[in-house]
Amino acid sequence: MNETHRRTFLGYCAFAGIASTLFPESLLAQIRPGTAVLDVTTIREAARLAGLTWTDAECRDVADSLSSLLASAARIGKNDLTNASPLPFQFDPRPPGTATPLPSGSTRLPAAPRVRRPARLEEVAFWPATHLAALVRTRQATSVELTRMYLDRLKRHNGVLNCVVTLTETRALEEAAAADADLAAGRVRGPLHGVPYGVKDIIAAAGAPTTWGAPDLASQTFDTDATVVTRLREGGAVLVAKLSTGEMAFGDQWAKGRTNNPWNPAEGSSGSSAGSGAATAAGLVGFAIGSDTGGSILSPAVRCGVVGLRPTFGRVSRHGVMAAGTTLDKIGPMCRTVDDCGVVLSVIAGPDGHDLAVPEGVPLAWDGRARQFPRRIGYVPSMFEAETNTNARANNERALAVLAGLGCTLHPISLPSGDLSYFIEYVERAAAFDAFTRSGQHAGLRPRTSRYLRACSLTTAVDYLQANRRRTLIMQEVARALREVDAVMFTSLTLDSATSLNPVMSLTGHPSIAVPNGFTAGGSPTGVMFSGHLYQEGALLALAAAYERTVGSRRHPPQFSAADR
């Protein structure tokens, strides 16, 4: 047996946790360095699982080294490593050998809108967050009034949507009262002062259950807020609800069932930021925070007809947020307008000293008042050709026409597949939930979730590292494809189909934003997605806002209108 095979197998065992997966504890207790206690059949089958074919002689040859390695693995103390245990390395989305221009300048927020309180306050339920903030800032409504209104709507409509995990009512009213007191004293904490919002229930809020969508974690709480919650609180926003997430951020099924689409409650709102998308679309919160590993902000944003922004990997701290794919997870806003997404991002972005993937010295350069926007727009022709829904296809063609009408030049490009994104994500999930799985808590999960967590525990370290080497090549290929364009337009087909072009932008860490672009004949929303260059969220927001202004006003789900009350 050569040294390459030996190292491959030892690396496999160390990563996959064979010590506890394939061998009983009684056997592990007998293992001592230099003592061969593993039989040939066990070693041969483990090697076969790693994609290796060894002779009996090769299996006997590796036995001593494997015994020593397993003894070392048993001393890792895996049960003490939690989902929050940090890694000593971080993913950098900037491909090696490729120049990545960083934004310069600062953020200038959109001009404050002029608003007037309607006769019935609930009529503002669908207003953009920027307009709600103006209503509070001009003292036409108090934050407490808005908070009570949204809490009432959450209670009234959750039976249809199943989007609420926990109402944070006591906390919300205290935060709203504090926001009103600050305003009375002449202190405005930020552009979201007094605005009620919700967070996906993988994001910690001190004292409130953070269930990760899992039945056995219904009472799990944390003592501190996640960074994103802290920054919103410091900015004067008011947390009214923890919103549903797919179980362990898988899909749109959580412990209490599916979260439904406000436009058509007979279908799901997609996952895994299902509750954030549904609550925002139904006017149950001013805005919401979601997370995205492979499309979990973008897909429910399209399904629910809202705007969802997935920032560049590392733009927003994930401290206090459940880890799913450690090198893929991003935190971002889900709002009713593009400007809202930009405003929320301006509050939550930047380093915090906890999440080391957030770089220092990379400003968010967004001018919310300018009308300049990127005009060299790439698109992938095969995506448009693959769309079979007649209405969605027409909406996609109209989106291209809108861009052309805005003076954009359209450039056909090709991009590599992003299928690798899911392999890397699922292996990282298995590591993040290793203690959870070893403790037997996975038994309470849905079969699909449980199967993936267990199966990916047997993926080799060699395959994971080689996948990331391939990922680097893909990052370089995408960087080359984007050299001639400022942004790329994708169709909603990429969000949940085998074309895998949305996952490639997640794999590479590029920022993306989903914007509504119409409806199907059945009344379900469709959308387009724009992806931009790394850390260039400002340019991406400018493009999406120009598109949004041209498309015009947006409808809201009629079932959740306040008009009949």
Distance CA 273, CA 155 (A): 19
Q: What is the pLDDT of residue 493?
A: 60
Distance CA 50, CA 458 (A): 8
Q: What is the pLDDT of residue 552?
A: 79
- Say if residue 8 is in the same domain as residue 153: no
- Say if residue 392 is in the same domain as residue 494: yes
For the chain, the average pLDDT equals 90
Across 69-78, 174-183, 520-529, the highest mean pLDDT is recorded for: 174-183
Domain hosting 376: range is 122-353+369-418+465-556
Percentage of the chain surpassing pLDDT 70? 91
**Out of 47-61, 124-138, 258-272, 355-369, least confident range:** 47-61
Distance CA 19, CA 29 (A): 10
Instruction: Take residue 383 and report the two structure tokens written for it.
Output: 């995506």
Q: What is the dihedral of CA 333, 335, 338, 343, to 10 degrees?
A: -60
Q: Is residue 10 part of a domain?
A: yes
Q: Is residue 362 part of a domain?
A: no
Report residue 387: phi and psi, to 5°.
-70, 125
- Say if residue 31 is in the same domain as residue 168: no
pTM score > 0.85 for this model?
yes
Distance CA 302, CA 299 (A): 5
Q: Is residue 510 part of a domain?
A: yes
Beta strands 253-254 and 264-268, pairing class = unpaired
Q: Is the confidence at residue 382, as pLDDT, over 90?
A: no
Q: What is the pLDDT of residue 85?
A: 94
Q: What is the pLDDT of residue 69?
A: 83
Q: What is the pLDDT of residue 51?
A: 86
- Say if residue 281 is in the same domain as residue 379: yes
Distance CA 510, CA 90 (A): 16
Q: What is the pLDDT of residue 417?
A: 85
Q: 156 CB contacts (<8 Å, ≥6 apart)?
A: none
Distance CA 415, CA 488 (A): 10
* H/E segment holding residue 198: strand 196-200
Report residue 562: phi and psi, to 5°.
-90, 0
Question: Contact at 8 Å (CB) between 365 and 346?
Answer: no
* Final residue of a structural domain among 15, 50, 76: 76
Instruction: Take residue 82 and report the two structure tokens written for it.
Output: 């939690």
Q: What is the pLDDT of residue 458?
A: 85
SS3 429: helix
- Asked if residue 272 has a cis previous peptide bond (ω within 30° of 0), the answer is yes
Distance CA 340, CA 307 (A): 9
Q: Is residue 424 part of a domain?
A: no
Q: Which of 64, 38, 517 is nearest to 306 (CA)?
A: 517
- Say if residue 312 is in the same domain as residue 387: yes
- Say if residue 403 is in the same domain as residue 511: yes
Residue 37 region by backbone torsions, left for phi larger than 0, else alpha for psi between -120 and 50, else beta? alpha
DSSP 495: G
Q: 276 CB contacts (<8 Å, ≥6 apart)?
A: 198, 199, 200, 243, 288, 289, 290, 297, 300, 334
Q: Is the confidence at residue 198, as pLDDT, over 60?
A: yes
Predicted confidence band of residue 501 (pLDDT cuts 50, 70, 90) = low
Q: Is residue 288 part of a domain?
A: yes
Q: What is the pLDDT of residue 68?
A: 84
- Say if residue 258 is in the same domain as residue 389: yes
Can you spell out the DSSP letters for 525-550?
EEEEEEEESTT-HHHHHHHHHHHHHH
Q: Is residue 163 part of a domain?
A: yes
Task: Output helix, strand, coil percentages for the chain, rounded to the nearest 5.
Answer: 45, 15, 40
Predicted confidence band of residue 375 (pLDDT cuts 50, 70, 90) = very high
Predicted confidence band of residue 554 (pLDDT cuts 50, 70, 90) = confident
Question: Contact at 8 Å (CB) between 287 and 334?
Answer: yes
Q: Which of 429, 471, 362, 463 is nearest to 91 (CA)?
A: 471
Distance CA 244, CA 210 (A): 10
Q: What is the pLDDT of residue 39?
A: 87
pLDDT digit string, tens, across residues 271-316: 999 999 999 999 999 999 999 999 999 999 999 999 999 999 999 9
DSSP 557: -
* Final residue of a structural domain among 43, 76, 109: 76
Q: What is the pLDDT of residue 563?
A: 60
Q: Is the confidence at residue 10, as pLDDT, over 80?
A: no
Percentage of the chain surpassing pLDDT 90? 72
**Residue 342 neighbours by CB distance under 10 Å:** 30
Higher pLDDT, 20 or 329: 329
- Say if residue 396 is in the same domain as residue 486: yes
Q: What is the pLDDT of residue 1?
A: 39
Q: Is the confidence at residue 509, as pLDDT, over 90?
A: yes
CA distances from residue 291 to 332, 449, 554 in whole angstroms, order as listed: 6, 18, 24
What number is the average pLDDT over the span 379-392?
85
Q: Which of 221, 217, 203, 360 is nearest to 292 (CA)?
A: 203
- Say if residue 173 is in the same domain as residue 282: yes
Polymer length in residues for the chain: 565
Q: Which of 64, 43, 65 is nearest to 52 (CA)?
A: 43
Q: 479 CB contacts (<8 Å, ≥6 apart)?
A: 95, 98, 100
What number is the average pLDDT over the span 543-563?
89
Question: Contact at 8 Å (CB) between 264 and 524?
Answer: yes
Q: Is residue 454 part of a domain?
A: no
Burial-class residue 388 by CB neighbours within 10 Å (0-12, 13-18, 19+).
Answer: exposed
Tell me how many domains the chain contains.
2
Q: What is the pLDDT of residue 37?
A: 55
CATH number at residue 510: 3.90.1300.10
Q: What is the pLDDT of residue 4?
A: 39
Distance CA 309, CA 374 (A): 17
- Say if residue 325 is in the same domain as residue 176: yes
Predicted confidence band of residue 459 (pLDDT cuts 50, 70, 90) = confident
- Say if residue 307 is in the same domain as residue 410: yes
pLDDT digit string, tens, across residues 248-267: 999 889 999 999 999 999 99
Reduce the secondary structure of 71-139 to three states and give it as a string. Answer: HHHHCCCHHHCCCCCCCCCCCCCCCCCCCCCCCCCCCECCCCCCCCCCCCHHHHCCCCHHHHHHHHHCC
Higher pLDDT, 9 or 74: 74
Distance CA 543, CA 367 (A): 12
Task: Could you list the beta-strand ranges (E) of 283-441.
Answer: 288-292, 307-310, 330-335, 376-379, 409-412
What number is the average pLDDT over the span 178-185?
98
Distance CA 545, CA 249 (A): 29
Q: Is residue 329 part of a domain?
A: yes
Identify any residues that bridge with 253 across adjacent strands, giving them in sequence order: 258
**Out of 9-23, 454-468, 548-562, least confident range:** 9-23
pLDDT digit string, tens, across residues 216-247: 999 999 999 999 999 999 999 999 999 999 99
Beta strands 512-519 and 525-532, pairing class = antiparallel
Read off the amino acid at residue 449: T
Instruction: Give catalytic residues, as residue numbers.
Output: 200, 272, 296
* H/E segment holding residue 169: helix 169-184
- Say if residue 233 is in the same domain as residue 313: yes
